[in-house]
Chain A
């Protein structure tokens, strides 16, 4: 195509006529528009069209048969442009529709979380008192039961475990209802991650899982609520431990990255970050079985859990998402090509540090 265009410039007397000029003038702005909008396929189609136009003009010399007619070129070019641009617009409309659907889902999710929060605040107080009564009663009875009565002791232990489980669920619910403000301090994310790792050390050892941390030194300090962010990383690593169950590896990496068009997938991320912006990215990858595709859509839903009853409340990821988004960041969950799951947390830099 370049050669043909160059030829048209070098030998205008041989190439330029009214039809080519009209067709070319129509195609070139369309080509530029498609390129500007990022419609790659449309750009290629229009480029091919331009080449075809030149071929038509050169056809008597190249093929010995003239493909040029007074209106032929315009008849070919006009529908060609319409179809190509129409396809581009159609693709864009579909993209906007998908984003609209995602936004609607987010609104529903947000409304759901707010409802749970309001309910939790009211219910928690009323539930915790009976739990306390039951727990104290169990302990009174446990002291009275003879050591030899193993069955009764086992029953009391089960009752105590049930109270603990109910308390965990209530505690998780309360996370929605309060403390939406962050206690932000300038913090080193790598330190926060290392402190979180200490909290799960015991669980890792029990499950024979190795935690490999590759933390980029010298990351810019971030504005973090360290306690809440620690809660996020403990949640994420605990999920990874539960996914692996036994004998495996969890990799935690941090890096300073520049956002690209490809990395800004999804409405949440494209709303919070812009192309070229620098951000700190944390990846937590596990050697577990990965997450079934059908679960990925609802993995952040409150009470969604794939863990056995009593092991998870189904609130860990929801709470983590809430905390990360309160920091202006994003959290994504997916599967690695080589197997296992990957959670990516992207966090904003402080003002003045985000630009490259």
Chain B
């Protein structure tokens, strides 16, 4: 089975760098990083990810609006999205079933093991 293609969109370069390292070394993943929210759509079109981890609050883009654009994009439509956000605390999430705008989310600071579990749960299966 081919590697899962994961797109990380977060304006914090230190987070995406560390997370990409972890997922590459410890998960069966191919990771693409984008630190500019405004370039996320283009990055997604080009990379064609199986799952996008998307920050909600970024200086140049709104994660919620980006998610809506992705879902209406003819190429990206149906691509699973998981929000990564510092807006809520982990204790408030009450488990993985909670969603923001219909999308699952992970509350920062999230354990990378949880990110891996989220990939296993949500990433699109491709032959």
The SS class assigned to the A binding surface is helix
- Decide: A139 near B14, CB < 8 A? Known: A129-B86, A171-B89: no
Across the interface, name the chain A residue whose C-beta is closest to B19.
A136
Let me know if B12 is at the binding interface, CB within 8 A.
yes
Q: Mark A107-130, 1 if CB is under 8 A from B, else 0.
A: 000000000000000001100111
- Decide: A132 near B25, CB < 8 A? Known: A125-B57, A167-B89, A170-B89: no
B22 near A136: Cβ-Cβ < 8 Å:
yes
Q: Which residues of B contact A131 (CB under 8 A)?
A: 108-109
Q: Which residues of B contact A130 (CB under 8 A)?
A: 14
A-contacting residues of B (Cβ < 8 Å)? 12, 14-15, 18-19, 21-22, 25-26, 57, 86-92, 94, 108-113
CA of A168 to CA of B55, assembled, Å: 21
CA of A140 to CA of B20, assembled, Å: 10
Interface residues of A in 162-177 (CB under 8 A from B): 163, 167, 170-171, 174
- Decide: A139 near B25, CB < 8 A? Known: A128-B86, A167-B89, A171-B90: no
B109 near A137: Cβ-Cβ < 8 Å:
no
Q: Which residues of A contact B18 (CB under 8 A)?
A: 133, 136-137, 140
B-contacting residues of A (Cβ < 8 Å)? 124-125, 128-137, 139-140, 143-144, 163, 167, 170-171, 174, 227
Those 3 A-B pairs whose CB atoms lie nearest each other, nearest first: A128-B86, A171-B89, A132-B109
The SS class assigned to the B binding surface is helix
Across the interface, name the chain B residue whose C-beta is closest to A164.
B109
Q: Which residues of A contact B14 (CB under 8 A)?
A: 130, 133
Across the interface, name the chain B residue whose C-beta is closest to A168.
B91
- Decide: A167 near B22, CB < 8 A? Known: A125-B86, A133-B12, A136-B15: no
Q: Which residues of B contact A136 (CB under 8 A)?
A: 15, 18-19, 22, 109, 112
Q: Which residues of B contact A132 (CB under 8 A)?
A: 12, 15, 86, 108-110
Given contacts A124-B86, A143-B25, A227-B94, 5 further A-B contacts (CB under 8 A): A132-B110, A134-B109, A139-B112, A167-B89, A174-B88
- Decide: A171 near B86, CB < 8 A? Known: A129-B12, A133-B18: no
Q: Which residues of B contact A171 (CB under 8 A)?
A: 89-92
- Decide: A163 near B25, CB < 8 A? Known: A124-B86, A137-B18, A171-B90: no
A143 near B22: Cβ-Cβ < 8 Å:
yes
Q: Which residues of A contact B90 (CB under 8 A)?
A: 167, 171
Q: Which residues of B contact A144 (CB under 8 A)?
A: 25
Q: Which residues of A contact B25 (CB under 8 A)?
A: 140, 143-144
CA of A132 to CA of B19, assembled, Å: 9
CA of A163 to CA of B94, assembled, Å: 20
Across the interface, name the chain B residue whose C-beta is closest to A179.
B92
- Decide: A139 near B22, CB < 8 A? Known: A124-B86, A125-B86, A171-B92: yes
CA of A202 to CA of B113, assembled, Å: 24
B109 near A135: Cβ-Cβ < 8 Å:
yes
Closest Cβ of chain B: how far from A173's Cβ, in Å?
Answer: 9
